[in-house]
Amino acid sequence: MPRTFDRRAIQDPAQIRLLSSPVRQELVDTLAALGGEASVADLAEELGRPADGLYYHLRTLCRGGLVREVAATEGEERRYRLAGTGDAPLRLAYRAGRTGNLGAVGGFARGLLRVATRDFEQALKLEGVALDGPRRELWTARNKGWLSARDVEEVNRLIERLCELTSQPRAPGREQLMSLSFVLAPIRARAKRRAPSGSR
């Protein structure tokens, strides 16, 4: 049986590999957005997918220890709950080295970017999406620049705050479901290429 884990620190490569599936990423994200627990019908409605197609992925997440099935009382629909301690959404803890999990984290990132691309392309087709101003809802960008150690600390604080804001469950006054995906990566400076001898 999988060990109990802190939702902010999933380290097990096998559990992370489960989340390389975009469908399973969406399921755990949607469970978090619905307060950590939901029925299959609720999940299907939020995801716009047939409920029958979600059972396999939910069972897989349950076997992997990332989701738990809640015992249903008579007449109630089966419900699923995010596993782990705390009430934060699922997050990954990266581990380097021979026994690390960076290969699994790379698979997770590829799945995440597929979901992000799909979300963005679907949002482009929506009516009434705010495209500018203080309530802008749609962004895609890539920035590349030089940062100091203090700048990196500030970037991490800002990303953590964005994660907090975009991980809140549904509540009165929070009527718009949003997704936020990001990649922050250091880039190794490339050596300048020398011109072939004799060419100017």
10 DSSP 8-state letter: B
User: What Rg do the C-alpha atoms of the chain give, in angstroms?
Assistant: 20
Contact 37, 82 (CB under 8 A): yes
- pTM as predicted: 0.80
SS3 state of residue 101? coil
CB atoms within 10 A of CB 18: 24
Q: What is the pLDDT of residues 111-144, one digit of tens each?
A: 999 999 999 999 999 999 999 999 999 999 999 9
Query: In this structure, what token pair is assigned to residue 180?
Result: 């936020």
Compute, in degrees rounded to 10, the torsion defined by CA atoms 43, 40, 23, 34: 30
127 DSSP 8-state letter: T
Average pLDDT in the chain: 87
> Please, how many CA atoms are within 13 Å of residue 135, restricted to the half-sphere of its CB?
4
Q: What is the pLDDT of residues 42-62, one digit of tens each?
A: 999 989 899 999 999 999 999
d(CA 138, CA 124): 8
Q: What is the pLDDT of residues 138-159, one digit of tens each?
A: 999 999 999 999 999 999 999 9
